[in-house]
Structure 1
């Protein structure tokens, strides 16, 4: 729930998103908002991109200008939580948590639904320590042993924060058969990883689907992505899609962009084997190993 989130990163994003939407719905420009709070257009820009939070009086004036003064209490509560909150990954340095990844960690830990497509590797939320070690070490051979281990610690902490919280999100992953057969770290590590997926699949909030090699060409050919859905308390939020390259993360938050990925994911879910068949598939594959 939005009201229970304590991540300043996420709450700033939520406040920014909704204030921009309300201004645009009212047919007003940033200059109109700046005049209302006796501030600058630049300051409004910072608020609407999540770089800063409006002061309480500014917030009330903006909501009055946008025709929704009754939402002041809700927004003031979000603002207070953002000021008092603490992001869970504080304590990990930038080598483990690059700046572009921080927003994703906050959004992921606050989502009510996390859906993903992965063509090459098992998603990070599901990785065992040995599997993660092989992915991290071989993916960036220049990392020191300490840096590799810190990234594994981050991945484990991330799993605790998302999968083991009191109100875990619905997690639905579509993974290519090729990824699930790739002997990352060797056969023993892969077998351990498949066993972990079977264990997770037993949870009522987790679904795993295999996209078989026989599916041929498919809509996930352009690469992995994660689609996040947020609590209903944040009205009109279309969700967010996150993709990542070696050097940066990319966030898609416009409704049309999110819908494009939603359609692609739905087609992948239809093409993939049904979630109920995953355990049988995994056990058969582990036996082959």
Structure 2
């Protein structure tokens, strides 16, 4: 299982991952091992490995000397240097670097399709401000009010992704029915959240399904996961999962296929989008 913890040197975007993959392929086409390339560049072998694994952000000068060594000429050379400069751009989330410490938000921002299985709470992209505050406070009981407000603000800023123009990503979420029945923050707050969920489900770029209690055992019993897909076919899907011990990113084809198939099974077992919205509306009425 190819897992990467959130404690990376920096949070690589999709472009940064694409650059790392391209540099590794260029070295291999040149017939050089990582050790040989490092020796010719006068670098340590770990530096090459960290760049190729996306753990270190290479500067333009570093990429230039690597491409020269590998014999890469234009137009490929120009394209990779442009990609290097794009990978260095700061995203909106860097204003919340104290909140978003991993790679997820950078990857989510570039995704064209977000498939999410959520067994416990309303997905972050669909939470109301009051609901988000209660969820964050429950997960971080010792947080002070300043940090709590900061985290809620960051979550609300993240939600603008679904309203982005011209091409927002498509969110397809499957929620366990328990989410609708758990009164986080009390019933009045929960009613507002359910009404908001019903409204968001009617967006053209949002598909929402509810997995009813009657299903019994299902493919999502091991916990939440999110499959991110990207516009460029050359960018492989990434699976994200999280827990009390941190974030994990799965990138091996086997793990991605397993999670994709699990999500498809959950969709087949869940209520249709229309039936799901009806159940959400009924739960809000109750």
**Mapped partners of 2:69, 2:267: distance in 1:** 42
- When residues 27 and 214 of structure 1 are mapped into structure 2, their CA distance, relative to the original with a 3 A threshold, is farther
What runs of 5+ residues in structure 2 fail to find an aligned partner?
A: 1-9
Tell me the secondary structure at the aligned position of residue 226 of structure 2: strand
**Mapped partners of 1:52, 1:14: distance in 2:** 12
- When residues 264 and 142 of structure 1 are mapped into structure 2, their CA distance, relative to the original with a 3 A threshold, is same
Which has the larger displacement, 276-285 or 197-206?
276-285
Residue by residue over 1:80-120, the C-alpha shift from the partner in whole angstroms, topping out at 9 and shown as x without a partner, is 1223x1121223252x23x3x2x101000111111100101
Counterpart of 1:239 in structure 2 is 237
Which has the larger displacement, 33-42 or 271-280?
33-42
After TM superposition, the structure 1 = structure 2 runs for residues 160-171 of structure 1, keeping only pairs within 5 Å, are 160=160, 162-166=161-165, 167-171=167-171
Contact 2:173 2:207 in 1 (8 A): yes
**Mapped partners of 1:248, 1:28: distance in 2:** 36
Counterpart of 1:20 in structure 2 is 24
Counterpart of 2:87 in structure 1 is 82
Give the TM-score normalised by structure 2. Answer: 0.87
The Cα shift of 1:16 comes to 1.4
The Cα shift of 1:41 comes to 1.8
Counterpart of 2:12 in structure 1 is 9
Counterpart of 2:132 in structure 1 is 132
- When residues 246 and 21 of structure 1 are mapped into structure 2, their CA distance, relative to the original with a 3 A threshold, is farther
**Mapped partners of 1:180, 1:146: distance in 2:** 29
The Cα shift of 1:239 comes to 1.1
Give the TM-score normalised by structure 1. Answer: 0.86
The Cα shift of 1:38 comes to 5.0
- When residues 287 and 252 of structure 1 are mapped into structure 2, their CA distance, relative to the original with a 3 A threshold, is same
Counterpart of 1:274 in structure 2 is 272
Q: How many residues align?
A: 272
Counterpart of 2:251 in structure 1 is 253
What runs of 5+ residues in structure 1 fail to find an aligned partner?
A: 1-6
| 1:58 and 2:57 aligned | no
- When residues 42 and 130 of structure 1 are mapped into structure 2, their CA distance, relative to the original with a 3 A threshold, is same
Contact 1:63 1:72 in 2 (8 A): no
**Mapped partners of 1:182, 1:25: distance in 2:** 55
Residue by residue over 1:162-202, the C-alpha shift from the partner in whole angstroms, topping out at 9 and shown as x without a partner, is 21211100110000001121111111111111111111111
Counterpart of 1:3 in structure 2 is none
